[in-house]
Amino acid sequence: MSETALFIKGVDKFYGPIDHGVHAVKQLNMDVKKGEIIALLGSSGCGKTSTLRMVAGFEAVSRGTISLKGREVQTFPPVRRNVAMAFEGYSLYPPLTVRENIAFALKASKLSQSVVDEKVANIAKLLEIEDIMGRYPSSISGGQQQRASLGRALIRDADLHLLDEPMGQLEPQLRALLRGRIKHFIKERGLTAILVTHDQTEANALADRIAVMEGGVLQQFDTPQMIKERPANLFTGTFVGEPPMNVFSAGISGSGDTVSFGLNEGVKLDYKVSDFSHEVRAELMKRSKVVLGIRPYAVRRSDGGVGARVAVNQWLGDQTHIAADFAGGTMVLVEHDRTNLAIGENVGIRLDPSSLHVFDGDSGKAISHGQELA
């Protein structure tokens, strides 16, 4: 049982008057263990930065508690929280060089000059910014500023590192390189980090657990694998994964030993009753409307399948993305070989019950995931 580094309980954030202002974060509950890396994923404006700022102490908590190492801190000023943060807008101090900017994060820790110099040199090497250490923030590029700002956060020996989109400005190659190095750096020192990112690859590669947020509400907080295989609701299902999950709303009917999903334009998907477990069947039969989801790489083509019409066929160098008109919507398929399907051609599609995600038609909450169907 490892120590809890951060515990957020029932936190609300209103900008403006409580209950009347902008409700940026809603009833947030989250726990982060010491040594964990958490990725915070969500669309723009969903409350990620607000959450980090409350943890850091720059925004007041409207309701609820925030504990760091078991100590409630929501009323403490930032000085007393021992948290490090890399800001979305970099926020370097203009009159200081990059080196001084990074070193001044250590000022309060009263380390000797030689220790500081060594740490700064390490960070510079880690982030590939050795050649700009003597420059001023105004004379370096956005990506360089971002790395300097990240360095200023990483160099500190804080209880918690909050990194707000720390690599958003970098090209994919550099990002991939730094991603590996940063993970190693954090894990080696046993640091705890929360990282906001819009890059799902980054989230999957770096994080022990991913928190998916939308509209100020935490949708799911789980390992990357669980998020992918067992999305808690329609939002997580469609938000995480590239290309996104295909979703179709469907009505349910059952007769004899078949369960049928009726899609738009009269498309009907029939499954055997035995394809679903008893509990899932019971859940399905309670409803008349559900949403079916299937990931593009799980969709199979088969001659006896349901009819679809190819609309787009793109070879991306290592995989094929096919978009087909299906049941009044679009079904995206990913295949690993090059296909010679022509636009307008009819194909048969098979949706294996073991790959099918079923969500409630109203609330969007997950009812079942393929793997547990049978």
Ligand X SMILES: Nc1ncnc2c1ncn2[C@@H]1O[C@H](COP(=O)(O)OP(=O)(O)OP(=O)(O)O)[C@@H](O)[C@H]1O
Using CB under 5 A as the binding rule, whether residue 49 contacts Mg ion is answered as yes
Tell me the CA distances in angstroms from 224 to 162, 193, 221, one per residue in order: 19, 16, 9
- Of the candidates 24, 51, 68, 87, which one interacts with another protein according to CB under 8 A? 87
- Of the candidates 10, 21, 45, 78, which one interacts with another protein according to CB under 8 A? 78
List the alpha helices (DSSP H) in 230-370: 234-239, 278-285
Using CB under 8 A as the binding rule, whether residue 148 contacts another protein is answered as no
In the complex, what is the shortest distance from the CB of residue 371 to ligand X, in angstroms, rounded to a whole number? 31
Q: Which stretch binds another protein (CB under 8 A): 31-39, 72-80, 298-306, 319-327?
A: 72-80
Q: How far apart are CA 3 and CA 227, in angstroms?
A: 24
Peptide bond between residue 243 and the one before it cis (omega within 30 degrees of 0): yes
Provide the token pair at 144.
């360089």
Q: How far apart are CA 289 and CA 185, in angstroms?
A: 49
DSSP symbol at 177: H
Find the radius of gyration of the CA atoms of the chain. 24
Q: Which stretch binds another protein (CB under 8 A): 31-39, 77-85, 246-254, 259-267?
A: 77-85
Residue 77: name its binding partner from ligand X, Mg ion, another protein, none (Cβ under 5 to 8 Å by kind).
another protein
263-322 residues near another protein, rule: CB under 8 A: none
List the alpha helices (DSSP H) in the chain: 48-56, 98-104, 113-126, 142-154, 172-189, 200-206, 224-229, 234-239, 278-285
In the complex, what is the shortest distance from the CB of residue 89 to ligand X, in angstroms, rounded to a whole number? 10
Using CB under 8 A as the binding rule, whether residue 48 contacts another protein is answered as no
Contact positions toward ligand X, by CB under 6 A?
15, 22, 24, 42, 44-50, 88
Nearer to another protein, 152 or 369 (CB): 152
In the complex, what is the shortest distance from the CB of residue 74 to ligand X, in angstroms, rounded to a whole number? 17
In the complex, what is the shortest distance from the CB of residue 355 to Mg ion, in angstroms, rounded to a whole number? 34
In the complex, what is the shortest distance from the CB of residue 223 to ligand X, in angstroms, rounded to a whole number? 22
Size of the site for another protein (CB under 8 A): 30
Residues 6+ apart with CB under 8 A from 160: 5, 6, 32, 55, 68, 82, 83, 84, 192, 193, 194
Which phi-psi region, left, alpha or beta, contains residue 311 (left: φ > 0; alpha: ψ -120 to 50)?
Answer: alpha
Nearer to Mg ion, 195 or 245 (CB): 195
In the complex, what is the shortest distance from the CB of residue 91 to ligand X, in angstroms, rounded to a whole number? 14
Nearer to another protein, 93 or 348 (CB): 93
Q: Which is it for strands 246-255 and 217-222: parallel, antiparallel or unpaired?
A: unpaired
Nearer to another protein, 160 or 367 (CB): 160
Nearer to ligand X, 120 or 194 (CB): 194
In the complex, what is the shortest distance from the CB of residue 48 to ligand X, in angstroms, rounded to a whole number? 3
Instruction: Assign 3-state DSSP to the chain and report helix, strand, coil percentages, each to 5.
Output: 30, 35, 35
Tell me the HSE value of 262 on the side-chain side, using a 13 A CA sphere: 9
> Residue numbers of the site for another protein (CB under 8 A)?
56-58, 77-79, 81-85, 87, 89, 91-95, 104-109, 136-138, 149, 152, 156
